[in-house]
Amino acid sequence: MIRFDQVSKQLGSKTVLNEISFEISEGETFVIVGLSGAGKSVTLKHMIRLMLPDAGTISIDGEAINHLTRHELQRVREKFGVLFQSAALLQWMSVRDNVALPLREHTDLDEKEILRRVDEKLELLSLGDAGHKFPSDISGGMQKRAGLARAIIMDPKIVLYDEPTSGLDPVTSRRIDDLIVDMQQKLGITSVVVTHDLHSALAIGSRIMMLHEGRIVENAAPADFIRSKNETVQSFLESQYITKKGKWEEKSHE
């Protein structure tokens, strides 16, 4: 579904991505981890061509996107929904209007059908009573859920999550994790998650890829990731007090 083939990107004097290659299959929850500046968000931006690689090829559903026209790129981007780190809700709009925005801008649906679809997504994310509220009137966790409702309102095949639990308390973070898993199970969505939170990565990921100094140092299922012999991976695990025992251990027996 998503393929990077020898992709490189330099920003200023820094090589952010150095000939990285990987594939993401349909229906996966693929998590990208690494230290700050490792190239996680840069990788995400390349998937929807907010950035162009200096070298290499990026393909979506077998179609190389490097040199698509604006019209062709728009068609590819319609396969994606994006949940930004800040949720990126428009503060002067209600939650319902925020979620409805993509439908109003990119479809010819009448208002009755738009509101039906919006309310359906709000109910799915337990926000049925929050539609009339403004972003400033709801919690950070609810804002993330509203952002997710907007990300899936066009029924995308792929959802990109940029630090979805950033700034949230541990309990709310785990609820967001559960939502990501729920979206994959109920809607069959392919999820690509960028996060610093290894507990989250291990809990939700079908595979975890770690970037370090522009290269992929590990790309494995959670149970294998925590057993990686790579020193950088082990140091990252230890920094968040991850041991080989935990909820992720169950995945090795599925």
Place of tokens 């804002």: 143
What domains are defined for the chain? 2-79+156-253 (3.40.50.300)
pLDDT given for residue 252 in this prediction = 47
Q: For residue 196, how many C-alpha atoms fall within 13 Å in the half-sphere facing its CB?
A: 11
- Tens of pLDDT, residue by residue over 166-207, are 777 888 788 888 888 888 888 888 999 999 888 889 989 999
- Tens of pLDDT, residue by residue over 93-152, are 999 999 999 899 888 889 999 999 999 889 888 888 888 999 899 888 888 888 888 988
- Does residue 250 have a pLDDT over 80? no
How many whole angstroms separate alpha carbon 174 and alpha carbon 168?
Answer: 9
Question: How wide is the angle at C-alpha 39 spanned by C-alphas 143 and 12, nearest 5°?
Answer: 120
- Does residue 221 have a pLDDT over 80? yes
Query: Taking the model in full, what pTM does it have?
Result: 0.85
Report the range of poorest mean pLDDT among 7-16, 28-37, 159-168: 159-168
pLDDT given for residue 247 in this prediction = 55
- Tens of pLDDT, residue by residue over 59-102, are 999 899 988 898 898 889 989 988 876 667 888 999 999 999 98
What secondary structure, in 3-state letters, does the chain show? CEEEEEEEEEECCEEEEEEEEEEECCCCEEEEECCCCCCHHHHHHHHCCCCCCCEEEEEECCEECCCCCHHHHHHHHCCEEEECCCCCCCCCCCHHHHHHHHHHHHCCCCHHHHHHHHHHHHHHCCCCCCCCCCHHHCCHHHHHHHHHHHHHCCCCCEEEEECCCCCCCHHHHHHHHHHHHHHHHHHCCEEEEECCCHHHHHHHCCEEEEEECCEEEEEECHHHHCCCCCHHHHHHHHHCCCCCCCHHHHHHHC
| Mean pLDDT, residues 43-67 | 92
pLDDT given for residue 251 in this prediction = 55
Pairing state of beta strands 2-11 and 158-162?
unpaired
Residue 158 bridge partners (DSSP): 80, 190
How many whole angstroms separate alpha carbon 85 and alpha carbon 106?
Answer: 23
Contact (CB, 8 A) for 26 and 190:
yes
